[in-house]
Amino acid sequence: MESAIILVFIIGYLAITLEHNLKIDKLIPALVMMAICWALIALGIDGFTTWFDSGAHALVDNFAGMGHEDKLHLMQETLLHHLGKTAEILVFLLGAMTIVEIIDYFDGFATIKSFVKTKKKSKILWIFSILAFILSAIIDNLTATIVLISILQKIVKDRTVRIWYAGMIIIAANAGGAWSPIGDVTTTMLWIGNKVTTLNLIKYLLLPSLVCMVVPAFIASFLSPFKGNLEVSEQDDRPPGKFSATMLYLGLGAIIFVPIFKTVTHLPPYVGMMLALGVVATFAEIYSKSKFNITSLDDDAGEHMSAHHSPVHSSLSKIELPSILFFLGILMAVAALESLGQLFGFATWLQDSTPMLGTEMAGTRVSDLVVVLLGIGSAVIDNVPLVAASLGMFSEPIDDQLWHFIAYAAGTGGSMLIIGSAAGVVAMGMEKIDFFWYLKKISWLALVGFLAGTVAFVIMRQFV
């Protein structure tokens, strides 16, 4: 039965990886894979000899000798435990997505366009790279990419030049998301999973992530697409709305407040995010002068009017639910393998068979090569399941340098292929960027940045 579960997981994983070839949204194989894996566990519960307790991060003693009812009870408790941990991540993401949509409702991101006051291509490259690096740390790399490419489309007329900027935005956004607990889904998973703390994550990863962004941008500034001046488009140059800047700074400030709230109260991050959403939503309703109450819909007409006059209701309707369901499916599927002890066993084999490069000085028992390969692998396969697997594979304590290295590698490694990160995929869709064009023009820059940041991390951890 264990072999059947692993086979289902591999097939589902391949379907996720080949999403663009199969023309099937990755949430579908993720949900099917999750359901079948847990169904097979329930049907074959008596045949399993080991069970992994994720709370204690150890195998359950004498699981094989337990009765049928005891095993079922343990399975249900484990399923509920993993659902709770997954729900923390999903509710957190829902809150963050809603705040971003509220900012967009008031055209808050148009304020950022005012930062671009030059026509020199190399300066515009640095402006967008720095904006992507900073914004992605606050509103996540996916949203930052969408916002900046939307602004780019209003500034740069020539698409052949614009896709070069889009490629550099992908690198910078993924680098910026790696050092912030709210900048990338994988980093958020490590943060909510109590593997890293906010201050130490920033301390260890800010410099390597900055190197990962600066090195490719510096090299690119000498390439021909970024030489000379740009014809700046004047179209759609209307001024931002009355509350655009206010809602931008309020929304970004509310999201930044979440890690502070967690540090002070020690409550799960989603609690702070819900508080932040409540505050932003209150001001949004006041500014829009909406009389609509989202908790009560009297009739269809009322519902129709709410979509036009309530910023909160409008923003909630734009949430990317497919992404939320994908995370649910993949995280719960990985939890199935973890519960059977498969990830624990694989981690032991990996640690025993891989050369321990530089680990004696670093004081960690997991090879640097394993983490580097994980980063490169995240460019080929989705980084969410890779990080989810690492949570079940390794038992290092909170803020161990392994977790920081994994956060960096998984967050920035996806830049090496355009399909390797959410930022890359959305840029590919918005600008119709060809996979092989990106591979030839941008991938080598992303690889150089990734390796430069890796070297910076390995050197820096000896002294910090």
For the record, the structure tokens of 204 come out as: 């260890």
Give the mean pLDDT of 365-371.
72
Dist CA 213 CA 103 (whole Å): 26
Residue 135 within any structural domain of the chain: yes
Greatest mean pLDDT range, 25-29, 230-234, 338-342, 455-459: 455-459
Least confident of 176-190, 200-214, 289-303: 289-303
Three-state SS for the chain is CHHHHHHHHHHHHHHHHCHHHHCCCCHHHHHHHHHHHHHHHHHCHHHCCCCEECCCCEECCCCCCCCHHHHHHHHHHHHHHHHHHHHHHHHHHHHHHHHHHHHHHCCHHHHHHHHCCCCEHHHHHHHHHHHHHHHHHHHCHHHHHHHHHHHHHHHECCHHHHHHHHHHHHHHHHHHHHCCCCCCHHHHHHHHCCCCCHHHHHHHHHHHHHHHHHHHHHHHCCCHHHCCECCECCCCCCCCCCCHHHHHHHHHHHHHHHHHHHHHHCCCHHHHHHHHHHHHHHHHHHHHCCCCCCCCCCCHHHHHHHHHHCHHHHHHCCCCHHHHHHHHHHHHHHHHHHHCCHHHHHHHHHHHHCCCCCHHHHCCCCCHHHHHHHHHHHHHCCHHHHHHHHHHHCCCCCCCHHHHHHHHHHHHHHHHCCCCCHHHHHHHHHHCCCHHHHHHHCHHHHHHHHHHHHHHHHHHCCCC
Sorting pLDDT into bands at 50, 70 and 90, what band is 363? very low
Domain that holds residue 288: 89-191+198-321
pLDDT of residue 56: 64
Q: Is the pLDDT of residue 245 over 70?
A: yes
Average pLDDT over residues 108-134: 83
* 304 part of a folded domain: yes
Name, of 97-106, 216-225, 254-263, the range with top average pLDDT. 216-225
Residue 169 pLDDT more than 90?
yes
Contacts of 246 (CB under 8 A, 6+ apart): 106, 283, 287
Whole-number pLDDT of residue 301: 41
Q: For 383-404, give one letter per residue: b (16+ CB within 10 A) or e.
A: bbbbbbbbbbbbeeeebbbbbb
Domain assignment present for 143 = yes
Question: Do the beta carbons of residue 269 and residue 259 sit within 8 Å?
Answer: yes
Percent of the chain with pLDDT over 70: 85
Per-residue model confidence (pLDDT) at position 271: 92
Over range 176-180, report the average pLDDT.
91
Task: Among 93-102, 117-126, 284-293, name the one with the lowest average pLDDT.
Answer: 284-293
> Is the pLDDT score of 9 beyond 60?
yes
Residue 186 lies in a domain: yes
- Phi and psi angles of residue 463, each rounded to the nearest 5 degrees, phi first: -115, -20
pLDDT of 324-344, one tens digit each?
Answer: 888 788 888 888 887 887 766
**pLDDT score at 308:** 52
Averaged confidence pLDDT in the chain: 81
pLDDT of residue 44: 87
Could you give the angle at the alpha carbon of 392 between the alpha carbons of 390 and 394, nearest 5°? 65
Identify the sign of the CA torsion 87, 269, 245, 313: positive
Calpha distance 47→41 (Å, rounded): 9
Greater confidence, 234 or 388? 388
- Domain assignment present for 311: yes
Range name among 279-288, 317-326, 354-363 with the lowest pLDDT average: 354-363
115 or 174: which carries more pLDDT confidence?
174
The reply to whether the predicted model has a pTM over 0.75 is no
Contact (Cβ atoms closer than 8 angstroms) between residue 180 and residue 137: yes
Which span out of 269-273, 372-376, 423-427, 443-447 was modeled with the highest average pLDDT? 443-447
Task: Read off the pLDDT band of 358 (50, 70, 90).
Answer: very low
Residue 90's pLDDT band (cuts 50, 70, 90): confident
Q: What pLDDT band is residue 22 in, cutting at 50, 70 and 90? A: confident
Residue 178 lies in a domain: yes
pLDDT at 240: 62
How many domains in the chain?
Answer: 1
The reply to whether 5 falls in a domain is no
- The model's pLDDT over 252-299, given as tens digits with 9 standing for 90+, comes to 888 888 888 888 888 888 899 899 999 999 999 888 874 444 454 444
User: What Å distances lie between residue 265 and 203, 258, 271, CA to CA?
Assistant: 21, 11, 10
Domain assignment of residue 439, yes or no? no
Tell me what the mean pLDDT of segment 403-425 comes to: 86
Percent share of the chain, pLDDT over 90? 21
Averaged pLDDT for residues 395-407? 87
Better-scored residue on pLDDT, 264 or 352: 264
Please check the confidence at residue 421 and state whether its pLDDT lies above 70.
yes
- Whether 423 contacts 137, CB under 8 Å: no
The residue-averaged pLDDT of 190-208 equals 90
Instruction: For residue 175, give every residue at least 6 positions away whose Cβ sits within 8 Å of its Cβ, in sequence order, or none.
Output: 133, 136, 209, 210, 212, 213, 411, 412, 415, 449, 453
